[in-house]
Structure 1
């Protein structure tokens, strides 16, 4: 009798009980022991869902699960809608989010940890998997990335300099009057990190996927060296005063569209507007420094995530793995032009023969994912303020960065000290 009672208790704690509570164990085999739902609900970004028609149909044919797709604007509405619809039981099983929101949504309990095999993680660039990792745990699989690259006007430049030092010399040669050799928004920390990071600075120290907000490396020796490198472009008149501040982006684009700039540093979002302006553009990864170190641009990763409120988390994870396999990632790229981070696709003809996509894919291999922890919110303004004092000659590199880091540390302590 006692034996039968024990067996009964064990049965109640088995896979069926876990399915009812939404739990899972490391020993579960996804999709085999989980109850099969009639459908999964997927929220994809606005004007990006068309590719899912084919992929969803293929998945339904293979597994007998219907995929219902809804378009929701990703940058802000996706997260806000999940906050409301998830707890109400009317939300999705799968959402797509920019990776820099991962830390916040995990802290709020909105998405679930993903447990996938190492061979699945190995599909993607190491940096893109790091972008989907928070506090050492994986919360999503990448679907696409973007990062700044070198864009040039073929009418003014017929080659890509091998190093940033060569680009500097080329810029001095081509800058005269209202004509400029190279422009970048180096007073904007999103772009400036390429130099600061490339020379040894870092935002937060990273250790095995965990970012330490108490170790800020934005005023170390490398960071100061990077800031001094940035400062000289302004001191020597290679950048016009009009590209400083919040209107800098539109000023830079205007000059390039008027045919007054040979090279610019910008992201893939600028490709089509430049072409629409009649500029015959070339695109390449940013040149490395003479030391061999790359320009460590910030990378943004868009990923797929399982809602913490989903009752079908195992199958949702299975569909995410399916969506992001090499075949479907390539198909999505062909339909949306958003560059995947799958390592095997870098040399795929559809990407390798597209100059812009290839440049983004190659630059992404050396890019740094923007930190996805909540403390990153305390970095942007102090760095912007200090960079502007730097490029306007109101402070030297060390003083400017010391001031920024002092503010960052104080703000983190004040707003996140109890975490």
Structure 2
């Protein structure tokens, strides 16, 4: 999945803003705040997003008189802390988060539905889908992210039309790696590999007419076996390698050791000084490659006494073009609000490239059943690529194991 955000520690900053104006004074606290404890809003943010949220909070306080307290947290602590604190009446009114927490949050009763009304028309449709569960919206996206083909134009001037064309261009470039695709040892990385899988017509779960995932597993069938056979062939040819971890592929690409890397916007800052182009992941199986689209966003505490205020803050202050562009500027994620995305893409070809590469993207599933999928899926792909397992047999066993885990959950 996307690279986690690592922060050194936890800070708390209070924005004590009066109804008629704002104060420059701030206080520090050693707690994570209790929802509604002060009659205002408490928001958990990570270091990267603190400044844009603070700016929106100041405007909110000036216009409503409601005070906002920001609690800066290590992003990796947000999910477990929110799950632990909300049932006890603690935690924030609003927290920053990721869309793939949704199933767990809803099942544990810790998040409240959001009502955004006509504002929905202003958002990327897939960005809202990934925060929707059983037809109800539970999170407000502020960005979208997907993998694409990142190309070093000095080594590969033209975008490849197919996977085989890309490999041939990579070999012709004379670099140590024709293409770099991250894996995670024997755990694999099905998230990054999903565009190639879908190009064979193999998907993970069925979607209904409105694009919502059902619990019908679709990994099986001839399409899945064809993809498994392709994985084995790419591993045998040395194109794919389970030992190329995230850190390795980023370092090798940065050093000019491949013209191509499959990755997301979270990688781009590491490639300063390279002339880059962003292309769709080329098809390996003949059908369009469909990367997963994810969306960072915000959740509202189901136990908060201030749910209406929290909803108002997110819809009226974090959904503006100004706020969404500010979040992009600190985090390099294409805004989820369409007008903001268009504004950014008009001046940033890298962002525009990732947006274009998402033309066929599908929502990354956040249904609870995904918890039964990732480990089996990744382990099987890695075993096939490394040559340790017969592709057809391993794929069939994986599907059976996943279905059994879903049925038993």
- Shorter chain as denominator, the TM-score bin is 0.7 to 0.9
Give the aligned partner of residue 64 of structure 1: 65
Q: Separation in 2 of the partners of 1:325 and 1:291?
A: 40
Seen in structure 2, the aligned counterparts of structure 1 residues 120 and 294 have a Cα distance that, compared at 3 Å, is: farther
Give the aligned partner of residue 12 of structure 2: none
Q: Separation in 2 of the partners of 1:266 and 1:218?
A: 23
Give the aligned partner of residue 74 of structure 1: 75
Give the aligned partner of residue 302 of structure 1: 296
Q: Separation in 1 of the partners of 2:89 and 2:281?
A: 50
Shift of 1:395: 4.0
Give the aligned partner of residue 5 of structure 2: none
Give the aligned partner of residue 121 of structure 1: 120
Matched residue SS, 1:259: coil
* Matched length: 367
Seen in structure 2, the aligned counterparts of structure 1 residues 231 and 292 have a Cα distance that, compared at 3 Å, is: closer
Tell me the TM-score normalised to structure 1 length: 0.79
Give the aligned partner of residue 29 of structure 1: none
Matched residue SS, 1:65: coil
Matched residue SS, 2:75: coil
Tell me the TM-score normalised to structure 2 length: 0.81
Give the aligned partner of residue 212 of structure 1: 214
Q: Separation in 1 of the partners of 2:396 and 2:160?
A: 33
Seen in structure 2, the aligned counterparts of structure 1 residues 386 and 147 have a Cα distance that, compared at 3 Å, is: same
Shift of 1:101: 0.8
Contact 1:135 1:209 in 2 (8 A): no
Q: Equivalent residues in 2 for 1:1-400 (5 A)?
A: 38-75=39-76, 77-117=77-117, 119-174=118-173, 176=174, 179-185=176-182, 187-207=188-208, 208=210, 210-213=212-215, 215-239=216-240, 243-245=241-243, 248-275=245-272, 280-289=274-283, 293-322=287-316, 323-348=318-343, 350-400=344-394
Shift of 1:49: 0.5
Contact 1:148 1:267 in 2 (8 A): yes
Shift of 1:172: 4.1
User: Does 364-373 or 230-239 show the bigger shift?
Assistant: 230-239
Shift of 1:365: 4.2
Larger radius of gyration: 1
Q: Please give the root-mean-square deviation of Cα atoms over the aligned residues, in Å.
A: 2.6
User: Does 62-71 or 229-238 show the bigger shift?
Assistant: 229-238
Shift of 1:394: 4.0
Q: Separation in 2 of the partners of 1:404 and 1:352?
A: 44
Shift of 1:268: 1.9
User: Does 126-135 or 203-212 show the bigger shift?
Assistant: 203-212
Q: Separation in 2 of the partners of 1:217 and 1:171?
A: 33
Seen in structure 2, the aligned counterparts of structure 1 residues 302 and 409 have a Cα distance that, compared at 3 Å, is: same
Contact 1:125 1:365 in 2 (8 A): no
Matched residue SS, 2:377: helix
Shift of 1:104: 0.4
Shift of 1:94: 1.0
